[in-house]
Homo-oligomer: A and B are copies of this chain.
Amino acid sequence: MTATAIALDVGGTHIKGAAVAADGRLRHTERWFTRAERGPEAVLQTVLDRAAELAGRFRPAAAGIAVPGIVDEAAGTAVLAANLGWRDLPVRQLLSEHLGIPVAFGHDVRAGGIAEARAGAGRGSRDFLFVPVGTGIAAALMVDGRPLTGSHTRAGELGHLVVRPGGEPCACGRRGCVETLASAAAVARRYTAATGEAGVTAERVGRRAATGDRTAATVWREAVDALADGLASAITLLDPERIVIGGGLARAGEPYFAPLRTALTARLSFQTMPELLPAELGHEAGCFGAGLLARDLLGEGAAA
């Protein structure tokens, strides 16, 4: 098989790689552990090595790579990816020199938003929010089909809207951010704090909430309420047509979406309630988006 492009999505736990077929879909996906504890240079070397393997196998005309944290798409630089240890790393240039082909570079959440826009739950909508709820919470603010980056490439930090003034401390240094209650990490941490039982994932807290565990139900409801508060603020400012929720909690399905829809509706007055939908591309959204950006370099993006 010859791929038009290859794509990589570099995360704190896994590096994902894929070949992008002629129709824009991912046809071959792999993943490797990031093992960030080895240090930033070792992580970069793994990325370059795995990309070279994919390129040797699929002979692509371009590559795309998505990176978390503060990302300067215009410069092609990972400004600060705390969980990779990367700081001011010219990722696009390094990968392009290593592979000898053009490289497209994107922010993982914004790349995911592009993928959901063209091939997922955002299809047919020009203005929507893509909100992956995982260890952290961020948003791609899709306006007229493209993600807003902001003036310093920091737009979309929905997880750091303060919804509980004076509330629990957040890793960002403030208190009461959406993330302190609504992220998967917060749900697991808060359940453990309340029960003393360690190692219970957020997904399992959700299942226990549905089967009569009152502590789980409280933690789950507080997560839903905090996310609804953050989404209500985003709706008040941005008036999106849809909100596409991704990440692990969204996979809980209606036990998550039904109370979230109710909580969000209760928080709106003159605002128009947007459609609230689960993401369609799951863990692949970022890698898929990197592949679409790579195809855009080749002038094939419009076909996706």
Distance in angstroms from A212 CB to nearest chain B CB is 29
Instruction: Determine if B148 and A269 form an interchain contact, defined as CB atoms under 8 angstroms apart.
Output: no
Complex CA gap A272/B152 in Å reads 7
Instruction: Determine if B233 and A161 form an interchain contact, defined as CB atoms under 8 angstroms apart.
Output: yes
Complex CA gap A294/B155 in Å reads 32
Chain B residues lying within 8 Å of A165, measured Cβ to Cβ, are: 163-165, 229
Chain B residues lying within 8 Å of A164, measured Cβ to Cβ, are: 165
Known: A232-B162, A269-B172. A239 touches B151 (CB 8 A): yes
Known: A150-B127, A274-B151. A160 touches B269 (CB 8 A): yes
Instruction: Determine if A233 and B162 form an interchain contact, defined as CB atoms under 8 angstroms apart.
Output: yes
- A-B residue pairs in contact (CB < 8 Å), sample of 30: A127-B150, A127-B151, A139-B237, A141-B238, A143-B148, A150-B238, A150-B239, A150-B240, A151-B239, A151-B272, A151-B274, A152-B272, A153-B239, A154-B239, A155-B237, A156-B237, A157-B236, A157-B237, A158-B236, A160-B271, A161-B233, A161-B236, A162-B232, A165-B165, A165-B229, A172-B269, A173-B269, A173-B270, A174-B269, A237-B237
Instruction: Determine if B229 and A154 form an interchain contact, defined as CB atoms under 8 angstroms apart.
Output: no
Chain B residues lying within 8 Å of A141, measured Cβ to Cβ, are: 237-238
Q: What DSSP secondary structure best describes chain A's contact surface?
A: loop
Complex CA gap A9/B25 in Å reads 50
Contact of A239 among B126, B155, B172, B173 (CB under 8 A): B155
A139, A153, A239 interface centre (most CB from chain B within 10 Å): A239
Complex CA gap A150/B173 in Å reads 31
Chain B residues lying within 8 Å of A151, measured Cβ to Cβ, are: 126-127, 239-241, 272, 274
Chain B residues lying within 8 Å of A149, measured Cβ to Cβ, are: 239
Query: Interface residues, chain A, CB within 8 Å of chain B?
Result: 70, 126-127, 139, 141, 143, 148-158, 160-165, 172-174, 229, 232-234, 236-241, 267, 269-272, 274
Task: Kindly report how many copies of this chain are found in the complex they form together.
Answer: 2
Chain B residues lying within 8 Å of A233, measured Cβ to Cβ, are: 161-162, 233, 237
Distance in angstroms from A180 CB to nearest chain B CB is 13
Instruction: Determine if A238 and B270 form an interchain contact, defined as CB atoms under 8 angstroms apart.
Output: no
Complex CA gap A274/B151 in Å reads 9
Distance in angstroms from A73 CB to nearest chain B CB is 13
A158, A163, A240, A271 interface centre (most CB from chain B within 10 Å): A271
Instruction: Determine if A270 and B172 form an interchain contact, defined as CB atoms under 8 angstroms apart.
Output: yes
- Which residue on B lies nearest to A139, using beta carbons? B237
Chain B residues lying within 8 Å of A163, measured Cβ to Cβ, are: 165
Chain B residues lying within 8 Å of A139, measured Cβ to Cβ, are: 237
- Which residue on B lies nearest to A159, using beta carbons? B236
Contact of A155 among B162, B174, B238 (CB under 8 A): B238
Instruction: Determine if B160 and A236 form an interchain contact, defined as CB atoms under 8 angstroms apart.
Output: yes
Distance in angstroms from A158 CB to nearest chain B CB is 6
